[in-house]
Amino acid sequence: MLQRLPIRINKSFVALLMVEALVIVFDIVSSWTCEAYASLPGTFVVGANMLYFIFFSVRGFVFFIFTCNILGIALDEMKLKTFIAQLPMIINILIIISSPWTKAVYYIDDNGYNRGNLYNSIIITFIIYLLLIGYCAIRYLDSLSKMREKGGIFLYLAILTAGIILRVSMPKVLLMDTFCVMAILCIDLIFMNPDFFIERRTEIFNTDGLKVFLDEMYAQKYTQICAFVICHYQEARDIYSANQMDNGISLIGAYLKRTFPEVLHFYNRTGRFIIIAKDNDHIETIIKTIEERFKSPWFGNDLELYLDVSFARVECNCENYNADSIVTVLSNALKRASNSPNETVIIDDDMFAATHETTAIKRSLENAIENDAVEIFLQPIVDARTFKLSGAESLARIRDEKGNIIPPGKFISLAEKNGRINQLGDQVFKKTCEFIRGNDIAAMGMQWINVNLSTAQFMKKDLAEVFERLVSQYGVSPNLIHLEITEAAIIDESIMKNQIQEIQKRGFVFALDDYGTGYSNASRLKHFPFTNVKIDMSLVWDYCAQPDKVLPMLIETLKSSGYTITAEGIETLEMANTMADIGCDYLQGWYFSQPIPTNDFSDKYR
């Protein structure tokens, strides 16, 4: 009686319970009629036995169907194979129905109940389905991700096999039903426990349940998806306390179940709720009703919450997308909506395409890191007065499955989010060392190569040791590598100082990247031993478009403090001359060269 998802596996489990119940009932009734046959109408005795044998035959087939649903075998798309799988059951049922006349499986005479010559057909039919279960379990076992589920199939198959063996060896002892019930109990505990798919606080379905249902959404005639998120959920959790917010989430879940019992509700963590319905008009009503409800506070025991919500709504056919894609797109849309109360984000095919692109980039990133395939491209940094090569910046590049370069703006942030940025940075540093060792950079006119450090990478406690080991391994002088960090990394000054000091002891030099976009200022920079400050391209472009006194004064202040200045984003000769005129020491940008592979860089500047 617990809440279950309306999916194939649950429907087949209910069918299995019903068939097993009927088998047990008619096993008892038919046994009684066989004992009291003399005082009962003949048709009643014959009918009771006939129904028992029919349901016995159906039971094996239902066990097979349930196994197929566990393994994700879509029988409704394999009609011929499904019909062939039904044939043993159909043939056996026809033999059973004909038995009152043919005496094939059983017959009733003056001496009572008797077995027919084809009595073992019911046993053979059950064995056939056991063999089919075993075959499917072996062939499609990889479709199951959990060891509990993989072992579970073979466990209930073993129990059923033991039951049929005892049925054959001890025909007068009624043990077969007991073993079938044991198998069903194992199935219930291993596969069917509703708690696997229920979120405890809300008592509605969880993310795992959502993914399972989405795979069959259209088959179950559900076509409409909408979702809502509590705006600024984490801030609200900090304000009201975790306990009050958890109670609030429970109240919202209870409200949804009570108000919209005819649709499916899911809770996807951090204040995100998903609703799936069968028709579009219903979704419209649901959204308006929920909007109105959140205009009022949520009351409970010692609880009073004032919350805002935003919505996301799917307005494309999700039948072409898998469950993981849909859940990811919903999460991204709700994340976007969470900062804008009462906004509705429309999910369309373009959003799915962007998500697929992100997934492909993640896969390429993982592949590049795992196979040491991260490449470095070098962009020249030139002297502002002579335009001659002075240094370069080493930039990470990865390729997609077709060998095309993926822009860094698309994979750097992903590497930071999934914890791969440290491995990415290590490969860039290592391959920069390889380039320096394999080329006479002094002959090219280069004094250094800049390597970027992300904020996450800068938090590594053993970063100094890692860099020292790599330059020692490649025989590279550490002062040839300038480490670039952005202003975002200077939020915690104590960590910053300690890390810089440890790395500086090893002979490395530091530069500040993207100056003008973060939190630092000229006076704050005095606390850190930077040798060079890179002016962010946004400041450069703004000044070149509309000159003022701010940037020249800033550069003068920085230079008087002992820093050299690099201007980024130089795209024209006019921009280069302008930035040189206001005191920049070095220039970098596409006017001189875009980032190019190391081999091309060597050929160009050798």
pLDDT digits (tens, 9 = 90+) for 311-349: 999 988 888 888 888 998 999 899 888 887 778 899 999
Count of helix runs (H) and strand runs (E) in the chain? 22, 19
Is 455:488 a contact under the CB 8 Å cutoff?
A: yes
Q: Find all residues with CB under 8 Å of 174, minimum gap 6, and list them.
A: 27, 31
From the list 531, 501, 535, 506, the residue with the least C-alpha distance to 518 is 535
What b/e string do you get for 209-248 counting C-beta neighbours within 10 Å, with b at 16 or more? bbbbbbbbbeebebbbbbbbbbbbbeebbeebeeebbebb
Tokens of 176: 């077969």
Q: What is the pLDDT of residue 216?
A: 85
Task: Tell me the two tokens of residue 406.
Answer: 């993926």
Q: What is the pLDDT of residue 172?
A: 78
> How distant is the alpha carbon of residue 91 from its chain centre?
46
Instruction: Concatenate the DSSP letters of all residues of 328-396 into one string.
Output: HHHHHHHHHHTTSTT-EEEE-HHHHHHHHHHHHHHHHHHHHHHTT--EEEEEEEEETTT--EEEEEEEE
Q: How confident is the model at residue 524 (pLDDT cuts 50, 70, 90)?
A: low
Full-model pTM? 0.68
Mean pLDDT, range 557-570, rounded to an integer: 92
Mean confidence (pLDDT) of the chain: 89
- What is the model's pLDDT at position 322? 86
* Mean pLDDT value across residues 261-276: 92
Q: Given this model, what pLDDT does residue 407 score?
A: 87
Per the document, the length of the chain is 606
Tokens at 26, concatenated: 């008619």
Whether pLDDT at 383 is above 80: yes
DSSP label at residue 188: I
Kindly report, residue by residue over 423-473, the tens digit of the pLDDT: 999 999 999 999 999 999 999 999 999 999 887 787 788 888 989 999 999
Q: Per residue in 9-62, pLDDT tens?
A: 889 999 999 999 999 999 999 999 988 888 888 889 999 999 999 999 999 999
d(C-alpha 65, C-alpha 73), whole Å:
9
Lowest mean pLDDT among 72-76, 86-90, 223-227: 72-76
In this prediction, residue 49 carries a pLDDT of 93
Contact 350, 356 (CB under 8 A): no
36 vs 33: CA distance, rounded Å: 5
- At residue 143 the predicted structure's pLDDT band, cuts being 50, 70 and 90, is confident
pLDDT value at residue 488: 60
pLDDT at 273: 95
CB 375 within 8 A of CB 381: no
Whether residue 165 has pLDDT greater than 90:
yes
